Amino acid sequence: MDCCRHVNPFRACAGLRGLGYLMVALVAAIAAASYYAVVVYAWGPVLLDGGAAAAGAAAVLAAFHVLLAMIMWCYLMVVFTDPGSVPENWRHDAEYSGDPGSSSEEQGSAPRYCSRCQNGKPPRCHHCSVCNRCVLKMDHHCIWVVNCVGARNYKYFLLFLVYTFAETVLDTLVLIPNFIEFFQDESRRSSSPGDTAILFVAFVLNLAFVLSLLCFIGMHTSLVTSNTTSIEVHERKKSVSWKYDLGWRRNLEQVFGTKKLFWFVPLYSTEDLHNIPALRGLEFPTRSDAIV
């Protein structure tokens, strides 16, 4: 019994980081198969052959590569952007000023402290057992990006989902003729067994990603428009009115910023970073009429 008391169950969470690297390798393999199926086998030869179909092939390949570039850009930003670390020796404003009615009290919660980080916890901050640190406005730890998703990379994560969904939809649609060919008699197939297998796998995997990402994007759309994180869903259900819900337009700006030209790229304007505290992850505006 004594030995059980010293077992740290959070050590098992560290294994998720190793699993994350395997998931990254899996995604890279799927992307490679899709690239071969769409570009090398299905539509590249159509473009090279010229003729009336070449214009359509050029449009498909252009869209494919633009979406792929955006996916890679957003993915790298999610992976290498710090989701938000709590400053060392951070304390709530109320603790500094001695005013019990300021900062966290105004947001309906007492000052919080993380015993593992030995540091204060800003509003909406949570400790990640995989990263072994507190993350500002933590949404979840994503094994697909080997990183936490938090205040400072949540937008990049959402864009990664949207562009990946668009890419998989495109791949699925343009590979349908080749997928149908898979079920023809072997004597009527125009491709080798190896190519046919790759086309079949690429089509099925892209279709599976379309269906799963559709559900995931729908969930996060609901979260963004209500200014809620995945962790806060249960807390929100217990409140009469969610204190961070400022209306769908302002909620979007809390994640994407006010400059709409920047909404579609994994970047923020300097003005938004300066004027929107929520993007930094330490302070969040709340509703004055919120009822807990």
pLDDT in tens, 188-246: 556 677 888 888 899 999 999 999 999 999 999 999 999 999 999 988 888 878 999 99
Residue 215 is assigned to a structural domain of this protein = yes
What is the pLDDT, as a whole number, of residue 188? Answer: 53
Say if 127 falls within a structural domain.
no
Element housing 126 (H / E): strand 126-128
Domain annotation covers residue 135: no
**Residue 116 is assigned to a structural domain of this protein:** no
Host domain of residue 166: 9-87+143-290
DSSP alpha helix (H) spans, 41-140? 44-49, 53-80, 93-97
**Position 129 in a domain:** no
Which residue, 173, 215, 180, is CA-closest to 196? 180
| CA–CA dist 174, 89 (Å, integer) | 54
**The predicted structure's pLDDT at residue 109:** 55
Cβ–Cβ under 8 Å, residues 241 and 96: no
Quick check: is 235 in a domain?
A: yes
Active-site residue, 13 included: no
Which range scores top for mean pLDDT: 56-60, 91-95, 96-100, 284-288? 56-60
The active-site residue out of 74, 131, 134, 142 is 142
Q: Indicate whether 67 pLDDT > 50.
A: yes
The reply to whether 131 falls in a domain is no
Number of domains, the chain: 1
In a domain, 187, yes or no: yes
Which residues, other chains included, contact 256 with Cβ-Cβ below 8 Å and sequence gap of 6+?
A: 155, 262, 263
